[in-house]
């Protein structure tokens, strides 16, 4: 009986310790904030794969956050995804866009403030736009053209956080185009698609060229892939194997390491796509597929990236 009493006491002590040590029993909210669309909207901004054309110098940010207990802080983080998070050498004339905007009741920027204890935050206003040109630019010098990730995360007053594992952060890749970046054009599109037949070479007409801008530089690297739709998502930051039907590289990447290089470029100012993708480099379309995506990634010497994705329809 004495032994049983001791065991019960130890069990109760352990139970009490686990409750008091791991969590405050007075707090009933264990849920992270919810990141969703802004009020009256049907999408985030920027959207996944959104392209900011060379004629634009800024981007609208649009989202909402809700939490039943109260929001403590929201972070909008933007960083380049050119390189799989390694670092290449680039000209000092260019800089990647890098943003860490913190929304909170005491934020230094008034546009990022919300009331203490607020259970909702709606961001859909020009005051929170992010510029890479003009007097309010976030970039010193000229922004590097290429792909960027935006990550929106939030924490509530009880320290419940959104995260990656459960998909409660908002994560998207968008593209900034600039007039000085390489120019890629496919000219044989039909209703926005490249058409081809299974078992036959894919005809790709068009060109890759150095831009005409005073800041344009020579082409350094070309990477062409034919993949299943959506298998090229930028967050993998690496080479595709599953779902890949063709891959070919020319030149050497500024960003992606020693594995990302191929035979010498035939020309570093202008390339004819139909010639580049001919002979031993022709793309043979597989059978059993309806739609695939042709992705053309081009880098210049200065580190600018142009990526174009074209839908391929296979008969």
Residue 52 zone, left/alpha/beta (φ > 0; ψ -120 to 50; rest): beta
| The last residue of a domain, from among 147, 176, 205 | 176
For 145-168, the pLDDT digits (tens) are 999 999 999 999 999 999 999 999
Q: What is the pLDDT of residue 237?
A: 41
Q: Report in angstroms the alpha-carbon separations of 136 from 32, 38, 58, 204, 217.
A: 33, 24, 10, 41, 26
Residue 28 counted as domain residue: no
207 or 5, which is more confident? 207
Does one domain contain both 40 and 158? yes
Instruction: Name the nearest CA neighbour of 154 among 68, 67, 217, 231.
Output: 67
Average per-residue pLDDT in the chain? 88
Q: What is the pLDDT of residue 238?
A: 44
Q: Which two tokens stand for residue 190?
A: 């039909």
What is the rounded distance in angstroms from the CA atom of residue 243 to the CA atom of residue 247? 11
Q: What is the pLDDT of residue 10?
A: 39
Q: Which two tokens stand for residue 9?
A: 């006491």
Whether residue 295 is predicted with pLDDT greater than 90 in this model: the reply is yes
Q: What is the mean pLDDT of residues 11-17?
A: 41
Whether residue 36 is predicted with pLDDT greater than 80 in this model: the reply is yes
Q: How far apart are the two ends of the chain, measured CA to CA in Å?
A: 82
Does one domain contain both 125 and 215? no
Does one domain contain both 65 and 199? no
Whether residue 47 is predicted with pLDDT greater than 50 in this model: the reply is yes
Does one domain contain both 158 and 207? no
What is the rounded distance in angstroms from the CA atom of residue 260 to the CA atom of residue 231? 19
Q: What is the pLDDT of residue 257?
A: 76
Does one domain contain both 223 and 263? yes
Does one domain contain both 161 and 237? no
For 80-144, where are the alpha helices, taking DSSP H only?
none
Q: What is the pLDDT of residue 17?
A: 37
Q: Report in angstroms the alpha-carbon separations of 65 from 44, 162, 194.
A: 12, 11, 40
Residue 139 counted as domain residue: yes
4 or 256, which is more confident? 256
- Among the listed ranges 27-31, 140-144, 178-182, which one has the minimum average pLDDT value? 27-31
Place of tokens 């796509």: 273
Q: How many domains does the chain have?
A: 2
Whether residue 44 is predicted with pLDDT greater than 50 in this model: the reply is yes
Q: What is the mean pLDDT of residues 213-242?
A: 76
Residue range of the domain that includes 213: 183-314
Contact 88, 220 (CB under 8 A): no
Q: Which is it for the CA torsion 300, 237, 63, 160, positive or negative?
A: negative
Which stretches does DSSP call E strand in the chain? 34-36, 51-52, 58-59, 63-66, 71-80, 94-95, 99-103, 120-123, 130-131, 142-143, 146-156, 170-176, 183-186, 193-196, 206-209, 219-228, 244-251, 270-272, 291-300, 305-314
- Among the listed ranges 23-27, 31-35, 67-71, 149-153, which one has the minimum average pLDDT value? 23-27
What is the rounded distance in angstroms from the CA atom of residue 145 to the CA atom of residue 139? 12
Q: What is the pLDDT of residue 176?
A: 98
Residue 214: CB atoms within 10 Å: 7
Whether residue 95 is predicted with pLDDT greater than 90 in this model: the reply is yes
Q: What is the mean pLDDT of residues 216-235?
A: 82
Q: What is the pLDDT of residue 258?
A: 79
Q: What is the pLDDT of residue 241?
A: 56
Q: Is 19 exposed, middle or buried (0-12, 13-18, 19+ CB in 10 A)?
A: exposed
What is the rounded distance in angstroms from the CA atom of residue 271 to the CA atom of residue 155? 49
Q: What is the pLDDT of residue 89?
A: 52
For 101-121, the pLDDT digits (tens) are 999 999 999 999 999 999 999
Choose the most confident range, by mean pLDDT, from 2-16, 71-85, 96-110. 96-110
Does one domain contain both 201 and 137? no
Question: With b meaning 16 or more CB within 10 Å and e meaning fewer, what string describes 164-188?
Answer: eeeebbbebbbbbbbebbbbbebee
Q: What is the CATH number of the domain that holds 171?
A: 2.60.40
Q: What is the mean pLDDT of residues 235-246?
A: 59
Q: What is the pTM of this model?
A: 0.84
| The last residue of a domain, from among 134, 153, 176 | 176
Q: What is the pLDDT of residue 131?
A: 98
Three-class secondary structure of residue 20 per DSSP: helix
């Amino acid at each position: 009986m004495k032994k049983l009493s001791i065991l019960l006491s130890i069990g109760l002590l352990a139970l009490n310790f686990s409750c008091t040590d791991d969590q405050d029993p007075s707090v009933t909210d264990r849920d992270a904030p919810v990141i969703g669309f802004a009020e009256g909207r049907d999408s985030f901004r920027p959207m996944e794969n959104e392209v900011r054309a060379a004629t634009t110098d800024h981007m609208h940010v649009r989202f909402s956050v809700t939490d039943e207990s109260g929001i403590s802080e929201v972070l909008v983080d933007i960083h380049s995804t050119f390189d799989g998070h390694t670092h290449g050498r680039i000209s000092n004339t260019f800089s990647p866009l890098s943003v860490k905007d913190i929304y909170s009741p005491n934020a230094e920027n008034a546009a990022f403030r919300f009331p203490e204890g607020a259970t909702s935050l709606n961001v859909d206003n020009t005051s929170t736009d992010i510029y890479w040109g003009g007097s309010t630019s976030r970039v010193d010098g000229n922004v590097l053209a290429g792909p960027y990730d935006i990550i929106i995360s939030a924490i509530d007053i009880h320290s419940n956080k959104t995260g990656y594992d459960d998909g409660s952060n908002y994560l998207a890749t968008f593209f900034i185009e600039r007039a000085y970046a390489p120019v890629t054009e496919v000219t044989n599109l039909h209703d926005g698609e490249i058409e081809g037949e299974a078992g036959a070479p894919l005809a790709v007409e068009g060109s890759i060229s150095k831009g005409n801008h005073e800041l344009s530089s020579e082409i350094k690297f070309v990477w062409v892939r034919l993949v299943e739709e959506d298998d090229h998502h930028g967050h993998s930051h690496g080479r595709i194997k599953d779902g890949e039907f063709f891959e070919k590289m020319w030149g050497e990447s500024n960003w992606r390491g020693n594995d990302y290089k191929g035979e010498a470029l035939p020309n570093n100012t202008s390339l004819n796509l139909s010639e580049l993708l001919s002979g031993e480099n022709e793309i043979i379309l597989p059978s059993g597929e309806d739609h695939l995506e042709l992705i053309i990634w081009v880098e210049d010497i200065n580190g600018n990236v142009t990526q174009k994705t074209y839908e391929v329809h296979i008969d």
